[in-house]
Structure 1
Amino acid sequence: MEETQIFDEKAMQGLDLLFHHYWILRADQPEWYHLIREREKVLRRYINEKFGLRMIVHQHFIKLEKIPVEPEVWMGIRVFQEPIDYGIFCCALSFIEGKAVDEQFLLSELCQDIQTDYPGEFPLDWTLYTHRRALIRAVKVLMDFQLIRTIDGDIGRFDHNEDQEVLYEATIYSRYFMRTYPDDFSSFQNWEELVREDWKLNQEDERRKRVYRKLFFSPGLERKDLQDPDFLYIRNFRNRLAEDIEKHSDYKLHVYKNTAFLSIAAPRQYHQVFPNTKASTDIVLQVSKFIHTQPDRFKANENGEILMTEGEFEQVIDELRQAKATGWSKYFRENSTSGVRSEILAAMKEWMMVEVEEETSLIRFKSLLGVLTGEYPVDFVKGEAEQ
């Protein structure tokens, strides 16, 4: 059997790189690029069979089109703050896709084109500071993805001066950023239609592909009800799934009554893992431990969820603050209870540990929150008490 037919350590590394990077640029990561090219055949087969995803191999880059089963709040471009950021970004993509490779253009040309095409309810006005800031965020993302490069000038100065000029150049990657669709993009009315279109191409073994995507693309998978088909698939084929995942990656499958997720023993630098170095995840672990130690006070429903009002959760935070605040970062020690609540809820939302009902503000703590707990070491607690 040829070496390229074997799913070996190189193939495992290639799969991991594809999952954790938007694309692999040959000019920037030549070793990664050639590693994936060497294992292209076996990677393409496995990705298609288990995930139903498309891998694009180009002479300048390799890209795995990662389409989630359901879009989540944490899946957007992290530096974007408002819908206007995405609108400007998409208009800018349309502009640069019309440029030839290495063709140069001015910021003023880009601004004028975006202003003309912008589909928002209110027109863009570059004399407004908030609109200029949104443009700066969008342009910086274009640069981060290397869709454009700066030839002369500084976009940061546009912050205070709408007449600031910058010279840019379109790159070879600019016309490959967006996905290609079998139908005219304008024929889709909403994102749900885009998702349905993707699954039309994956009707064979759709359940398996849904489960693999959920496990690899999300922090965890929650059981929605007793007849949740995706979770039933995991329960029924648990051993087979675990064996396959461990054979083709460094991850291990964990299955509990109401949740399932993947873990890794030795995460790489580019991995996003929980807990991370942010102070908010320390408090999330303490919240989990606090709930665990009081089962009579916090009772789970049939789906393993614990429900609280905002006031009840703030009471939890106040009690935690009294017991643990000496170990909290200065930012959280000095923040208000409502401020800490907002920060911690935002962190838990990103890790799919909580849902907040918009109408009632009722907080649903998911089973995934209870998988890990955290506590300060005894010597740390004693040291604080002696001071």
Structure 2
Amino acid sequence: MNGRSRRRGSSSAEVQSDLQAVAMALLSRPWITKQDHPDEFLLIKDHYGYLRDWFHDHAGYSLLVTRAFAKLEKVPAVYRSWMGIDGFHQPRDYALFTYGLWYLEAKSDTDQFLLTEMVEAIRNHLLGSHFDVDWTLYDHRLSMVRALKKLRALGVLTSIEGEETGWARDGASANVLYEASPLARYLLRRFPKELMAYSEIEALYEVEQTTTVPVGDELLHNADVRSRRQKVFRRLLMEPIVYDWEWTDDERRYVQTKRPWIISQMGEMVGLQGRRFREGLYFHWPELMAEVDLFPTQSAASDVTMLLAAQLREAAAQYPDRYPCDENGCFRLTRSEFEGLLLAVRDKSEAYWTKEHRDKSTTLLAEDILAHMVEWNLAAPDDLGGILLLPGLSRFCGEYAAVID
């Protein structure tokens, strides 16, 4: 695509395809910079009003466009464990990542500084808050290194000379020269109020209403409808599956009554195709997308999950009394029954598995596959210590194709 010259002569179908591509890019990336993606950046600027209004009206997201980048401020309606930062292992990693941004906000563009200067400033600041971070401890240095690597990956910090692993290993005897980026000031989400004005964590991801609503039943009703619509679209845009029972009563009624409109809006804006099943409204991409993680993933855990879905389908048909399905389409299994299904899958397909999964014990394999399924909302632990296989799993079926010599 060649910037503006291509778009001036484009058909409406090509323009819509371009808009879907940049909408997906805005949803999938922290931001889109003019330097790295000039064509996408120009498309966003050309259609700024339309993109801004759609994302704000439908999901309550703010679109920020500067001379250097475009950023869609995305806030989930419900937080999930997989929404964390890949590679972060503990809360300390997130805290040091945030204080790294605090340090960078005081730097001018292209200011250079040493890693040791940065970590000492962070330590002194934290001491003022009665929180002691000890850089002589390897675990503390390792947390800081994970935070620094993420800051570099996001482009808010540039390494000029050296690398963090040497400092993690040797401490103050190693160093890294960095350069600041103006992007650091825009990474954290903007809040309509000061953080100290929020009394509970749930208020941080409430849908922001930028329009003042005067007292009046009709206008208050319109504000409620807008808030409900935005929460629904947030979940449908960010979560792999949302079942009917996961909505509030008002949200479920909205999804059921507005289903054709929701499907058309998701299709026109981001290219998602929707379909109604008994247990909920599902969305999927008709083609493979490089921008997002899709199920099944490239992980071997997805292969085993697909095989398990086929094994469950077979077992439920053969032994309906042993594997009853409830009114929501869920199968409630004990852990031993879940491991039994996995053993049956292993007996049939182990020759095709990775060495990692072949060598794991049944218990460890079950934990690995269950964690993968929970992440994709295909399973959940139940209240009695068992496992709930959710109906989304029944929509998949996998087997290894026979190889003919």
Higher mean alpha-carbon deviation, 313-322 vs 166-175, is at 313-322
Q: Which residue number corresponds to residue 356 of structure 1?
A: 381
Of the three residues 138, 155, 159, the one matched with 1:150 is: 159
Distance in 2 separating the partners of 1:31 and 1:171: 22
Of the three residues 86, 108, 116, the one matched with 1:108 is: 116
Distance in 2 separating the partners of 1:254 and 1:322: 35
Distance in 1 separating the partners of 2:124 and 2:341: 50
1:130 aligns with 2:139: yes
How has the CA–CA distance of structure 1 residues 117 and 244 changed in structure 2, closer, same or farther, with 3 Å as cutoff? Answer: same
Count of residues in Structure 1 that have an aligned counterpart in Structure 2: 378
How has the CA–CA distance of structure 1 residues 317 and 238 changed in structure 2, closer, same or farther, with 3 Å as cutoff? Answer: same
Distance in 2 separating the partners of 1:74 and 1:314: 24
TM-score (norm 1): 0.90
Higher mean alpha-carbon deviation, 54-63 vs 322-331, is at 322-331
8 Å contact kept, 1:286–1:373: yes
Instruction: For residue 206 of structure 2, give the secondary structure of its aligned residue in structure 1.
Output: helix
**1:29, distance to aligned residue in structure 2 (A):** 0.9
Gaps of 5+ in 1: none
**1:170, distance to aligned residue in structure 2 (A):** 1.0
Q: Which residue number corresponds to residue 175 of structure 1?
A: 185
Gaps of 5+ in 2: 1-7, 212-222
Q: Which residue number corresponds to residue 215 of structure 2?
A: none
Matches within 5 A, 1:198-213: 198=208, 203-213=224-234
Higher mean alpha-carbon deviation, 130-139 vs 364-373, is at 364-373
Instruction: For residue 288 of structure 1, give the secondary structure of its aligned residue in structure 2.
Output: helix
1:321 counterpart letter in structure 2: R
Q: Which residue number corresponds to residue 301 of structure 1?
A: 326
How has the CA–CA distance of structure 1 residues 252 and 234 changed in structure 2, closer, same or farther, with 3 Å as cutoff? Answer: same
8 Å contact kept, 1:92–1:114: yes
1:240 aligns with 2:261: yes
Higher mean alpha-carbon deviation, 84-93 vs 195-204, is at 195-204
**1:282, distance to aligned residue in structure 2 (A):** 0.5
Distance in 2 separating the partners of 1:227 and 1:53: 21
Distance in 1 separating the partners of 2:209 and 2:78: 12
How has the CA–CA distance of structure 1 residues 98 and 361 changed in structure 2, closer, same or farther, with 3 Å as cutoff? Answer: farther
Q: Deviations over 1:171-230 (max 9, x none)?
A: 010111112212111332442121236368674522222221111111011122797433
2:77 counterpart letter in structure 1: V
Distance in 1 separating the partners of 2:245 and 2:155: 40
Instruction: For residue 79 of structure 2, give the secondary structure of its aligned residue in structure 1.
Output: coil
Q: Which residue number corresponds to residue 214 of structure 1?
A: 235
8 Å contact kept, 1:18–1:64: yes
8 Å contact kept, 1:310–1:362: yes
Matches within 5 A, 1:18-167: 18-118=26-126, 123-163=132-172, 164-167=174-177
1:343 aligns with 2:351: no
8 Å contact kept, 1:254–1:262: yes
How has the CA–CA distance of structure 1 residues 177 and 240 changed in structure 2, closer, same or farther, with 3 Å as cutoff? Answer: same
2:331 counterpart letter in structure 1: I
Q: Alpha carbon RMSD of aligned pairs, Å? A: 2.5
How has the CA–CA distance of structure 1 residues 117 and 309 changed in structure 2, closer, same or farther, with 3 Å as cutoff? Answer: farther
Q: Deviations over 1:261-292 (max 9, x none)?
A: 21112223222111121111001111111112
8 Å contact kept, 1:33–1:61: yes
TM-score (norm 2): 0.86
How has the CA–CA distance of structure 1 residues 10 and 307 changed in structure 2, closer, same or farther, with 3 Å as cutoff? Answer: same
Distance in 2 separating the partners of 1:121 and 1:96: 22
Of the three residues 340, 350, 356, the one matched with 1:331 is: 356
How has the CA–CA distance of structure 1 residues 106 and 129 changed in structure 2, closer, same or farther, with 3 Å as cutoff? Answer: same
Q: Identity over aligned residues, as a percent? A: 26
How has the CA–CA distance of structure 1 residues 313 and 115 changed in structure 2, closer, same or farther, with 3 Å as cutoff? Answer: farther
8 Å contact kept, 2:134–2:140: yes
**1:136, distance to aligned residue in structure 2 (A):** 0.8
Q: Which residue number corresponds to residue 15 of structure 1?
A: 23
8 Å contact kept, 1:251–1:262: yes
Distance in 2 separating the partners of 1:351 and 1:200: 33
How has the CA–CA distance of structure 1 residues 122 and 338 changed in structure 2, closer, same or farther, with 3 Å as cutoff? Answer: farther
Q: Which residue number corresponds to residue 338 of structure 2?
A: 313
2:208 counterpart letter in structure 1: D
